[in-house]
Amino acid sequence: MNPSTLQQTTGNVCVGIATLIFLLPLQHLLWEFARKHVNDNQWVTSALFILIPLWLLLMGALLCVTASGGFDWLRLGRPALYTLTVAASLALAVVTFVFIALYIRPGFTPRFLYLPVIYLISLTTVLLVVLSLNPKLAPGLPLRAVNLSWTVCAAISLALCGGYLGYRLVTGGGSQIRSIAHRFSSNSELSRKNIAQIPTLDPKRSFTELLRLAGESQDRDVRDAALVQLRSNPDWVASLVAELTRATPSSGELDHALALVDFASFTPEEQKLLALPARNAMDRITKYMHSELRFFLKDKSRRKGAHRWGNRLFQSIATKLAGAGVDFQPALDAFEKTFTEKIPDNE
């Protein structure tokens, strides 16, 4: 193994900075929690703030060792060795984090049990890089023994991480895959039933039901079939205008009506008929969210979803009906204000 100047310099700089991180911030963290009894996870951020740069630097140094032929004894191709080096570095970082967690929150076990592993993994990695990239530095030191120790640590770490990921995949991933497959098959079956039902619905008497089937939650085939059935009524645009005018936001029918305005295509004359009722419908939805759903919007995830839905739909309709002579900007501004203003705690 004869590392180039670039490999040697890069590896030494990385391992030097990593050693400083190990000796100063990491030791300070371990010392800080040496006599504390911790019952929360506030230490996690500090630990990750130290471990992430530490192991990124060590990974870079190990890649320099790999590039210089330090792991050629494994008799693998160079791309495979690079992949294995990255995987081993990540596994060692994960195991180090786990043992730091056990050290900080040891339960009923003594803390000193976990320190040897923390030191062994980090210092063995540092020593391996230094001896591999600087063979003339200490020719008498047993590089083979250090190499073997690091390889054993890396292999055990890879096996533990791989076993855990496999366990999670079998226990959690399998059920999620089955759930997705079941949901997909259920949706497909429901879509087939809806498509078969649509021709039996009268476009006048069953206008609301067809409007629901043309809604955003349906598959594209279902929406297309529902739209064809709606168009079979010559006065379907007038029915849509009436729905935009009288439907209440709480029923969900107003959402379906606006979704149809966004989904269907209209002539310029039809757009003029729909523009003002559509803007008024937006205003009613905004007022509804601003008042009756204020408690609902305090949930951040729901608030974000409702904001994304309304912003996309309202902007799309405003763009589509821009030539109809109706100003949608006040409606858009009011909707945006509902989601940007601070909600008082006492509401």
Kindly report the length of the chain. Answer: 347
Based on the fold, state whether residues 210 and 100 are members of the same structural domain.
no
Question: What gap in Å lies between CA 333 and CA 329, rounded to an integer?
Answer: 6
Specify if 192 maps to a domain.
Answer: no
Distance of CA 247 to the CA centre of its chain: 36
Per-residue model confidence (pLDDT) at position 109: 84
Specify if 207 maps to a domain.
Answer: yes
Residue 234: partners with Cβ closer than 8 Å, 6 or more residues away? none
Position with higher pLDDT, 150 vs 175: 150
Per-residue model confidence (pLDDT) at position 343: 54
CA Rg value for the chain: 32
Residue 51 has pLDDT above 60, yes or no: yes
- Model confidence pLDDT, tens digit, residues 283-326: 999 888 877 656 655 667 777 788 888 888 999 999 999 999 99
Q: Worst-scoring range by mean pLDDT, 79-88, 118-127, 153-162, 309-318? A: 309-318
- Tell me the CA distances in angstroms from 214 to 227, 233, 343, one per residue in order: 6, 15, 34
Residue 347 has pLDDT above 70, yes or no: no
Q: Which of 152, 171, 190 finishes a domain?
A: 171
Q: Which two tokens stand for residue 193?
A: 């039933």
Specify if 52 maps to a domain.
Answer: yes
User: Burial of 295 by CB count in 10 Å (0-12 exposed, 13-18 middle, 19+ buried)?
Assistant: exposed
Based on the fold, state whether residues 216 and 140 are members of the same structural domain.
no
Per-residue model confidence (pLDDT) at position 73: 86
Based on the fold, state whether residues 145 and 240 are members of the same structural domain.
no
Q: Which of 116, 149, 171 finishes a domain?
A: 171
Res. 346 pLDDT band, cuts 50 70 90: very low
Q: Which of 129, 134, 133, 160 is nearest to 147 (CA)?
A: 129
Q: Is the dihedral of CA 4, 139, 20, 37 positive or negative?
A: positive
Based on the fold, state whether residues 140 and 24 are members of the same structural domain.
yes
Based on the fold, state whether residues 152 and 243 are members of the same structural domain.
no
Based on the fold, state whether residues 110 and 162 are members of the same structural domain.
yes
Specify if 196 maps to a domain.
Answer: no
Distance of CA 182 to the CA centre of its chain: 23
- Model confidence pLDDT, tens digit, residues 277-286: 999 999 999 8
- Tell me the CA distances in angstroms from 320 to 60, 110, 258, 275, 317, one per residue in order: 53, 68, 12, 9, 5
Residue 32 has pLDDT above 60, yes or no: yes
Contact 213, 222 (CB under 8 A): yes
As a whole number, mean pLDDT of residues 233-245 equals 93
Based on the fold, state whether residues 248 and 336 are members of the same structural domain.
yes
Res. 144 pLDDT band, cuts 50 70 90: confident
- Return the number of other C-beta atoms located less than 10 Å from residue 286's C-beta: 22
Based on the fold, state whether residues 126 and 234 are members of the same structural domain.
no
Based on the fold, state whether residues 28 and 78 are members of the same structural domain.
yes
Specify if 181 maps to a domain.
Answer: no
Q: Which domain holds residue 222?
A: 201-340
Based on the fold, state whether residues 16 and 153 are members of the same structural domain.
yes
Based on the fold, state whether residues 128 and 250 are members of the same structural domain.
no
Specify if 347 maps to a domain.
Answer: no
Q: How many domains does the chain have?
A: 2
Based on the fold, state whether residues 156 and 23 are members of the same structural domain.
yes
The pTM for the full model equals 0.53
Specify if 184 maps to a domain.
Answer: no
For the chain, give the percent of residues with pLDDT over 90: 55
Per-residue model confidence (pLDDT) at position 191: 79
Q: Which of 171, 186, 210 finishes a domain?
A: 171
- Model confidence pLDDT, tens digit, residues 187-235: 677 778 888 899 999 999 999 999 889 888 788 888 899 999 999 999 9
**DSSP state string for 191-255:** HHHHHHHGGGS-TTTTHHHHHHHTSTTS-HHHHHHHHHHHHTSTTHHHHHHHHHHH--GGGSHHH
Res. 176 pLDDT band, cuts 50 70 90: low
Per-residue model confidence (pLDDT) at position 12: 95
Distance of CA 76 to the CA centre of its chain: 35
As a whole number, mean pLDDT of residues 147-160 equals 94
User: Burial of 219 by CB count in 10 Å (0-12 exposed, 13-18 middle, 19+ buried)?
Assistant: middle
Specify if 63 maps to a domain.
Answer: yes
